[in-house]
Chain A
């Protein structure tokens, strides 16, 4: 659905995005992760046809975005991080405007159902300027939904939202994906993304340093497993056994557990477990520690920013 090749954007002497090649399949939620200044917003603005790339190609639904931006815009819904609304319009007038702007002949029922979807139906006659931050965010999303775009681009959508609103946003994005949209969402709040994204891309200094499903990237970038071992009684015997295995490194005591790195393969883990048991170590629990997006980001990112 979204395809970029060697996408590059320069602002004067600063190269904000460098050679980003990306493929986001249909019906997925793709998350852009990266520190501030990594190039996420610039990439999203180029995808949204709001910014011309210095070099490279972008195709959305098979349309060359640079050569034919107007055709691409019919397929794109974009919500920036600090977007504004027309404060002097009523809520229904705001949506009516965008319905008209997209050539849709939406009746009052259509607007009502849209407002219901984002839980703003009770604010129908209010001026947009009177809405709270969360409500404005929901109205911004409703604006995107009026024409059911095939590609939804969201730049830091959860900024300033309370926990309930974040959960509602996450559910809404999943609904959009289930209805056939491809969602690209950027954020530097990693837990927020890991809950909803099918695939992620990690950006740093304008480069895409990794892309794919979280599990795949974890597997590709994993140099060692982190293992957790819990034993009954003293841990000395267990440490002794572990130290005799060359693949076990960095053994550390964490309260009543032992944490260690394991440079071998996943298939070698049962053998290690067997060795511990045969040595008479009273093993209560032995498992690889689950890694999340945060671990992945910390592993790949150097923390540098433009």
Chain B
């Protein structure tokens, strides 16, 4: 009952149910479900009785089961996502959002209600498919365990997807903006994840790939369908810290971890959209968990192929550390507010200030701290995985760590400058700058030299792609210039960007001082009158 209370005692969930799933719409959706799944069942039965396609009733029922669960998955993914992405933006557009932020139940419960109730039509449609999914179980073609596991996969993945949609909804003012960026994000994820895997895990052929694949519900359902006898996913395992654990555990672990990461961001956005996405504590915790997942996930790879393991470790950290500043910066207005209170010559103090109650300080201190933690961790890992590097290999291992830490600091400094210059659109401009910084150098070098070979000198991406060769100290790549050029550029960039950001802060503090003086003069002139 207490679990049901979480749902039905949540006013936001109840409101969304009342808004979207009144008796009439619930009935129409149920009819739609009956039509879809009933027609498929009839079609398959027709195939069976007429001798086309599937030959046995059991095979037909198994095929039907995975068709129904596949459609269920599609419904909660696409229909659910399309509903979740407009939950908050519609509130903003209809000017009801302020009242929600003010209610005493707090942003946590509001977010939970939205997460569960936002895509309620998709959930309902998927729920209406349950009786049809039960048919193969009753026909003993599928075990009850497999049935429960498939529904668990659909539910948990639906929750993750809804949380993603809700996150995008909380980031943008308008539904059209949120939907558009979400579509772009999905496209980038599809191509980017492939790229990352190719970069990190290529030729590794290890269990880490399994861990990544475990996150996919399609893979999980496919595994479920591939088992020859009616059974559960427990037959399928995933390697984790050298142990084989049931794949369903891996799936649940990864998705619940994603939810645990995304949910507090949504809550924070509801609490105050001007704050940073991640609170400092949340960022530290997320970073620590991320490191644990990377280390545990790559454990087998570290022993199988230490070089590939290190590349995977650095690539994942590079991505995390470059994106980290985007999660830690408050709005440009708040940053300017901090400078408004600042005194002359406080620029370095403000630059490295610890985040206070007003949460409007630049998070440089935290970024530097996390980058330092990464450097330390990488050093320990490199020493632990001692595989008899040659001198250049050791140098490359050190250089790549410094390069990634400095890239993160440079990104944070650029973001700080951008937010101080253009305030409201600073994060978007920062993303654009990041994309430009990552793609432009190698393109320019390739254009100038008519080859991609020299891009390693200027591009961190190219450097990471070649890292395996550099770590091995391959005679072909045993070249100090190649090893040190890009990391040194990143160090210089980090220093230069930081100094530029500090100079900008100093300029704004001087301007504020001038403004104060003018105000004081104006007040002293007014008093005699």
A residues touching B (Cβ–Cβ < 8 Å)? 8, 10-12, 48-55, 66-67, 69-70, 73-74, 76, 78, 80, 82-89, 93, 96-103, 143, 147
Contact = CB atoms under 8 A, between A and B. Distances in A.
Contacts of B15: 86, 89, 93, 97
A102 B336 contact: no
- The 8 lowest CB-CB distance pairs between A and B, nearest first, are A100-B11, A54-B337, A84-B95, A101-B103, A84-B94, A84-B96, A88-B19, A102-B104
Contacts of B332: 12
Contact of B357 (A8, A67, A85, A97): A67
Q: Which of B14, B99, B423 gathers the greatest number of chain A CB atoms within 10 Å?
A: B99
Interface of B: 9, 11-12, 14-15, 18-20, 94-96, 98-106, 110, 271-272, 274, 332-334, 336-337, 340-341, 357-358, 360, 423-424
A10 B333 CA distance: 7
A74 B242 CA distance: 51
Contact of A10 (B271, B340, B357): B340
B513 to A, nearest CB: 15
The binding surface of chain B is classed by DSSP as: helix
Given A100-B11, A101-B103, A101-B104, A66 B358 contact: yes
A83 B19 contact: no
A70 B101 contact: no
A143 B100 CA distance: 12
Contacts of B341: 54-55
Nearest to A75: B104
Q: Which of A48, A49, A88, A97 gathers the greatest number of chain B CB atoms within 10 Å?
A: A97
Nearest to B113: A101
The binding surface of chain A is classed by DSSP as: loop
Given A50-B101, A101-B12, A55 B424 contact: no
A143 B360 CA distance: 33
B19 A69 contact: no
A52 B423 contact: no
Contact of A12 (B95, B106, B333): B333
Nearest to B100: A101
A102 B14 CA distance: 14
Contacts of A98: 11, 99, 103
A138 B211 CA distance: 56
Contacts of A99: 11
Contacts of A96: 11
A103 B103 CA distance: 9
Contacts of A11: 333
Contacts of B110: 101
Contact of A52 (B9, B360, B424): B360
Contact of A89 (B9, B19, B95): B19
Given A67-B357, A103-B104, A86 B336 contact: no
Contacts of A69: 271-272
